[in-house]
Chain A
Amino acid sequence: MSHLSSEEFIDLLDGALPPARGQHLLTCAACRTEAEALTGVLTRAAAVGEVPAPSPLFWAHLSSRIRAGLAAPIARTWQELVWWPGSGWAAGLASMLLVLLVSQSSFRGSSDLHLGSSPAAHTVRAAADPADDIDNDQAWAVVRTVADDAGDDAAEDAGIATRPDAAERITLELSAREKSELAQLLAGELKRSGT
């Protein structure tokens, strides 16, 4: 008789494993060991405890916050700003960004070859890191420029509510990790769309 599948192990934990398959456990030490291990870890996970109850006043406060949030004008996050459905300029923006990122990366790579691994080289590389000096980063400058050049009319046509200097503000506020995340999103979107 074959070993239990992953689904059957879960059925076993749920007490829903058909008796015929349960017979297998009587003769298979490997499945029995696995079942005991899964039961143990499930018990341990379940014992973590309940979510601590917030102050009773919190719920009224949360309701108020939600009402206030609904009354406020829609403010898009940087991800939504970039990926709002129908924002045709996003693909162009993504293309330009990636091209620049790649070209800049290549440029840095060639520079590194010349600079070697001296402390000075590290200094130069650090200064070129967009995370350290966003104002001098070409890729992000292009992001800001392209976003601004897209124009409010195009953005409104795409359903995006923009504010003056929105792209500038967003890029300045992004952390290194968020910029990395955005680059990954752009790359993923390009790959998905086959651009």
Chain B
Amino acid sequence: MLTRTWVTAGEPESRIRVTQPSPPRAATPGVAGADWTVAADQVLVDASLSGETAAFDVIVERYQRQVYQLCYRFVGNHEDASDLAQDVFIRAYRGLRGFRGRSALGTWLYRIAVNVSLNRMALKAPRTEPIDHREHRDAAIELPETTLLRSERAAEVRAAVARLPRKQRATLILRVYHELPHQEIAEILGSSVGAVKANFFHALANLKKLLQ
């Protein structure tokens, strides 16, 4: 069975590899001052439920980048994304007892992040940041006109993505920007692989219309 291995917190970009088996379950550190950073997710979950706050700190450290980036993709600005990321982990902690381990911890956190982000967007139109805050290309080797054009095109795409229906938007973000396999997206969105593919198709078709 294919399982997902999440990148470590130190890596700069959220990339999911699906062909590697999950790491073996590490032994529980078990003593005060133990190194939780090497513990497997389920061990950290169990320890967190036992009151080891340091274990949950490691969960946060391990996944905060991916969660933040996912939230950012939905809301398009740092302020809201950081608020949402905080909310995701607080909800995760309070709902940790409900995590059964049927899916990967990362998948479960993504599910919370998607729901929190979509709910936020339903209530409050996101304030997208100015273009120059979002583009981090090497401007030194690029003509200003080229940078501006690329920024404008990127802004058009972001605006179009934001206009997609909820599930289509979530599917597109998870597939295109987080490179999740369809099966994982199905688990996150609570749907079937076929529905995910259909949503992705319609997301692209609608995006095409919106960008014309």
Contacts and interface: CB of A to CB of B under 8 A. Distances in A.
Interface in B186-208: 194, 197-198, 200-202, 204-205, 207-208
A45 B176 contact: yes
A46 B61 CA distance: 27
Interface in B142-185: 153-154, 157-158, 161, 172, 176-177, 182
B204 A42 contact: yes
A7 interface: yes
B86 A46 contact: no
Given A59-B61, A63-B61, A181-B123, 10 more contacts: A11-B197, A38-B204, A42-B204, A49-B137, A51-B72, A59-B9, A62-B82, A66-B89, A69-B90, A181-B122
18 contacts: A7-B194, A9-B201, A10-B201, A37-B208, A41-B204, A41-B207, A44-B157, A44-B211, A46-B176, A49-B136, A52-B135, A53-B12, A54-B78, A59-B61, A59-B65, A62-B64, A62-B85, A69-B89
Contacts of A67: 53, 57
Contacts of A62: 60, 64, 68, 82, 85-86
B83 to A, nearest CB: 9
A135 interface: no
B156 to A, nearest CB: 9
B90 A66 contact: yes
Interface string A53-88: 110001100110111011000100001000000000
Contacts of B65: 59
Contacts of B57: 63, 67
A11 B12 CA distance: 29
B108 interface: no
- The interface residues of chain B, by DSSP majority, are classed as helix
Q: Which 6 A-B pairs have the closest CB atoms?
A: A6-B201, A10-B197, A7-B197, A41-B208, A69-B90, A51-B69
Nearest to B81: A51
A6 B133 contact: no
Contacts of B123: 177-178, 181
A136 to B, nearest CB: 25
A50 B198 CA distance: 25
A178 B65 CA distance: 30
A49 B154 contact: yes
Contact of B198 (A6, A38, A45, A46): A6
Given A10-B197, A45-B172, A46-B176, A66 B86 contact: yes
Contacts of A44: 153, 157, 211
Task: Bin chain B's interface residue count.
Answer: 35 or more
A63 B205 CA distance: 39
A58 B64 CA distance: 11
Interface string A27-54: 0000000000110111011111111111
B199 to A, nearest CB: 9
Contacts of B157: 44-45, 47-48
Among B56, B82, B182, B200, chain A packs the most CB atoms within 10 A around the CB of B200
B198 A7 contact: yes
A69 B86 CA distance: 8
Nearest to A9: B201
A78 to B, nearest CB: 10
A59 B161 CA distance: 27
Given A38-B204, A41-B204, A45-B172, A50 B154 contact: no
B182 to A, nearest CB: 8
Contacts of B158: 48
Contacts of B56: 70
B13 A50 contact: yes
Contact of A66 (B60, B69, B119): B60
A64 B206 CA distance: 40
